[in-house]
Chains A and B, each alone.
Chain A
């Protein structure tokens, strides 16, 4: 399963809920698969998708907030897990597409084959799921609907040769549109 396949399955469960997507191919895949107002494509600031997502989650406790993260991205900001675990937002679904590589920069390896990301999530008070195929991903997405706690789903994926197009929107436009997508009453 490549990232795009996994992302497609996840996106079937997402309607207008906000998604904060990590820089690089992550945001590009999302842009190609499901362009919508409530997507925040983080095109720079590597590592910070989960921190931005935490800020959104804390201020919108009644909305489910999705974070599309990568193994390279989360390793760059492990401190974010500490703060998330400390604050324990109940409305955050942190998905880590783990291809054991920095695919956007040429496929260089990360440590995720030897360092278990889900264990970090476990000690940081997440409910953890690790899935390796489409069926278990679909089952997991059904299960999480009833869970009232920060959720981490580590999806083991393989590297892909496909490259999605760049996010062609102006960053300020992405921001304004994302902000407008919130119904402040929620």
Chain B
């Protein structure tokens, strides 16, 4: 994941009418979030559930929203996704950094990293993994999903150590 890649995604969403970027910071998504902060488009919340709540309120007002988080925060969000986002059919794009993708990532990320693909399937949140080659078509797919009143997730793999 290079700087320009995340920049392109942010610019793409802006051009496609996503006006709100709400979430809890993740180092995997650092460039994306920094750009949003610079453009004064980001709301940083205390927890991921809170971010989903705010995004829901904005969606209810006809304003399109993306919620960003690390996969640890995705685990925090399961009940909110099932009992709010899925239940009311709230169209939100989730952008999730995938820690634990590398088998030698920090220990706290290993288990959630391993079960994440299954979790997404179990809660029936359609998802795509973004790469430098496919990001555009997958982001277009996400825009279509929310136009059809459905939520979805875009996953960014953590392919480096720091």
Contact = CB atoms under 8 A, between A and B. Distances in A.
B60 A52 contact: yes
Contact of A55 (B46, B49, B53): B53
B35 interface: no
A31 B58 CA distance: 23
A83 B89 contact: no
B62 A182 contact: yes
B45 A79 contact: yes
A184 B62 contact: yes
B88 A51 contact: no
B interface, over-half SS: helix
B60 A51 contact: no
A140 B145 CA distance: 45
Which of B49, B55, B56, B88 has the most chain A CB within a 10 Å cutoff? Answer: B88
Interface string B26-56: 0000000000000000010111011111111
A1 B18 CA distance: 45
Contact of B57 (A43, A44, A52, A82): A52
B57 A45 contact: no
Contacts of B84: 42, 44-45, 48
Contacts of B46: 79-80, 82-83
Contact of B56 (A55, A57, A60): A55
A55 B61 contact: yes
B90 interface: yes
B11 interface: no
B61 A172 contact: no
B80 interface: yes
B79 interface: yes
Given A20-B57, A56-B57, A175 B88 contact: yes
Contact of A83 (B43, B62, B80): B43
A47 B62 CA distance: 23
Contact of B83 (A45, A51, A53, A60): A45
B87 interface: yes
Interface in A124-148: none
Interface of B: 43, 45-47, 49-63, 65, 79-80, 82-84, 87-90
Given A52-B57, A56-B57, A171-B89, 20 more contacts: A42-B84, A44-B83, A45-B79, A48-B80, A50-B53, A51-B49, A51-B50, A52-B60, A54-B54, A55-B53, A55-B61, A58-B54, A59-B62, A60-B61, A79-B46, A80-B46, A83-B43, A83-B54, A172-B89, A175-B60
